[in-house]
Chain A
Amino acid sequence: MGVVKTQFAFEALKSIFKKPSTEEYPHKRREPPKDFRGRPVWLIEKCVGCGLCARVCPVKAIKIIGRGKEVNVTYLLDRCIFCAQCAESCNIRAIAIVGEFEFAGYDKSKMSYIYDKKQLVEKEAEIAR
Chain B
Amino acid sequence: MVSETLIFLGQVLIFPGFLFIILLAFFAEWAVRKITGRIQNRLGPTYTGYMGILQPIADFIKLLRKEDITPTMADKIFFLIFPIMYFSLPLTAFSLIPMTEVQALTYFEGDLILLTFIFTIITAMVFLGGFSSGNIFSIVGGTRSATQLLGYEIPLVFTLLCPAIPAGSFSLTTIVEWQQNNSWIIWTQPLGFGIILTCMLAELELTPFDAPEAETEIVAGSITEFSGVKLALIRLGKNIKLVLASSLISALYLGGPEQLWILPPIMIFLIKVFVVLFLMVSLRAIFARFRIDQILAGMWKYLIPLAVTQFLLTKILWGW
Residues of A within 8 A of B (CB): 5, 8-9, 12-13, 15-16, 18, 20-22, 24
Contact = CB atoms under 8 A, between A and B. Distances in A.
21 contacts: A8-B286, A9-B282, A9-B286, A12-B39, A12-B285, A12-B286, A13-B39, A15-B41, A16-B35, A16-B38, A16-B39, A18-B41, A20-B38, A20-B41, A20-B42, A20-B43, A21-B41, A21-B42, A22-B41, A22-B42, A24-B43
Question: Which 5 A-B residue pairings sit nearest by Cβ, starting from the closest?
Answer: A16-B38, A22-B43, A12-B39, A20-B43, A15-B41
A64 to B, nearest CB: 45
Nearest to B47: A27
Nearest to A15: B41
B37 interface: yes
Interface of B: 35, 37-43, 46, 282, 285-286
A62 to B, nearest CB: 40
A20 B285 contact: no
Contact of B286 (A5, A20, A21, A22): A5
* Interface secondary structure of A, over-half rule: helix
B160 to A, nearest CB: 27
A8 B285 CA distance: 10
A24 B286 contact: no
Contacts of B285: 12
Contacts of A22: 41-43
A18 B41 CA distance: 7
Contacts of A5: 286
B282 A12 contact: yes
A15 B46 CA distance: 17
B203 to A, nearest CB: 22
A20 B35 CA distance: 12
Contacts of A12: 39, 282, 285-286
A116 to B, nearest CB: 44
Contacts of B42: 20-22
B145 to A, nearest CB: 27
A24 B46 contact: yes
Nearest to B44: A20
A13 B283 CA distance: 11
Given A12-B286, A13-B282, A16-B38, 18 more contacts: A5-B286, A8-B286, A9-B286, A12-B39, A13-B39, A15-B38, A15-B41, A16-B35, A18-B41, A20-B37, A20-B38, A20-B41, A20-B42, A20-B43, A22-B42, A22-B43, A24-B43, A24-B46
Contacts of A21: 41-42
A15 B43 CA distance: 11
A25 B37 CA distance: 17
Contacts of A8: 286
B207 to A, nearest CB: 13
A67 to B, nearest CB: 53
A20 B43 CA distance: 6
A102 B106 CA distance: 60
A109 B34 CA distance: 42
A15 B282 contact: no
B146 to A, nearest CB: 30
